[in-house]
Amino acid sequence: MIIDTHVHLIIPGFVKGKFLRANARMAANIYNRIHGTKIKPNEYIEKMKGRVDPDCSKLIERMDGAGIDKSVIFGVDWAYALTGEPRVSNREQNRIHAEMAKKWEGRFIPLAALDPRRPDVLDQAKEAIEEWGMKGFKLHPSAGFYPNDPVCFPLYEKCADWGVPIVFHSGGIEVNWEFGQPIYIASAAEHFPEVKMVMAHAGLESWEQARLAATALSNVYVDLSIRQLDYRLSRQKFYEWLRDFIDWTTPWKVLFASDTPMPTFWCPEAEWVNAIREPDTDIPFSQEEIDIIMSKAAEKVFNVQA
């Protein structure tokens, strides 16, 4: 089995134009660095428009083509503090994620994206888990909050009660990057050791913090989303990095992930799957380690039933 633990849906009305344009500037720069091109942000946006997928059928097709059995899907709650609600409200987006999981039964694991500062955060969280059957939460500290701020604690307490995990954006390359540094997520994990917490992107530029946290704390994990950039720029260095990460944390702390759709323009889904499943390197990775990273660790974190 292969589980992609970090996937975003592309549905009209989910994000505001300002957010999309800011994201496209960064993404186009990386695209040009990898491919030796000179596309502009508006051209990158046109590429993204080609992935608009209201019923997720395109995503399912791409998953099938790459051999991905399940995807963990979630949105990004920028709305409360930064952008204001997009045309489709954050609550409605969470409901749509839950509905897509029902529509494509067995293919999606839906998480609710929430800003813990929302006045009704616990009501929305309860609705997502108890009424819609969602499987955990995605928090985006770059919206302007520290993960170890006590404002987050009521949500974490409910996660402990429900036995569900939290995925955090971690690291930089966007506005308010300092809020999502792994050290703050690690602090939250220490306060709530019964809640599984995943540092998305393995901390990006702060990966050493993420590595130490995943080594020292039993409830901290990382995902490999956006590490396609490392892989495409230097495969040897990427595999050296991955080997080192596994040696520190064990493979049970490392989750396969893509951050679809953005990085798939740098490295298509099937290529990224094969990069981890069949490493093209002299650096040794056991089949057991690969199986754990590709699915078994995720099954444990997201309570996937066999």
CA 245 – CA 210 distance, rounded (Å): 10
Write the single-letter amino acid at 137.
F
The token pair at 272 is 């990224």
Which residue from 197, 191, 207, 205 is spatially nearest to 148, judged by alpha carbons? 191
User: What end-to-end distance do the CA atoms of the chain give, in Å?
Assistant: 10
CA 281 – CA 235 distance, rounded (Å): 8
pLDDT of residue 15: 82
CA 114 – CA 80 distance, rounded (Å): 9
C-alpha 104: how far from chain center:
20
CA 115 – CA 121 distance, rounded (Å): 7
pLDDT of residue 37: 92
Domains of the chain plus CATH, in order, are 3-301 (3.20.20.140)
177 burial type by CB count under 10 A (0-12 exposed, 13-18 middle, 19+ buried)? middle
pLDDT of residue 21: 79
Which residue from 32, 120, 63 is spatially nearest to 268, judged by alpha carbons? 63
**Widest distance between CA atoms in the chain:** 53
- Write out the chain's pLDDT in tens, 306 residues: 999 999 999 999 888 777 777 778 888 888 898 889 998 988 888 877 788 999 999 999 999 999 999 999 999 998 887 778 889 999 999 999 999 999 999 999 999 999 999 999 999 999 999 999 999 999 999 999 999 999 999 999 999 999 999 999 999 766 677 899 999 999 999 999 999 999 999 999 999 999 999 999 999 999 999 999 999 999 999 999 999 999 999 999 999 999 999 899 889 999 999 999 999 999 999 999 999 999 999 999 999 976
CA 52 – CA 55 distance, rounded (Å): 9
Based on its alpha-carbon atoms, the radius of gyration of the chain, rounded to whole angstroms, reads 18
Q: In what order do the strands lie in the sheet with 70-73?
A: 3-7, 70-73, 108-110
Which residue from 304, 199, 216 is spatially nearest to 254, judged by alpha carbons? 199
Strand pairing report for 112-113 and 108-110: unpaired
pLDDT of residue 306: 61
The token pair at 41 is 């942000």
| Local structure of 260: helix, strand or coil | strand
Tally of helices (H runs) and strands (E runs) in the chain: 13, 9
Write the single-letter amino acid at 9.
L
pLDDT of residue 141: 95
CA 215 – CA 256 distance, rounded (Å): 17
Task: Please list the residues that pair with 197 across neighbouring strands.
Answer: 166, 220
pLDDT of residue 27: 84
The token pair at 28 is 């186009």
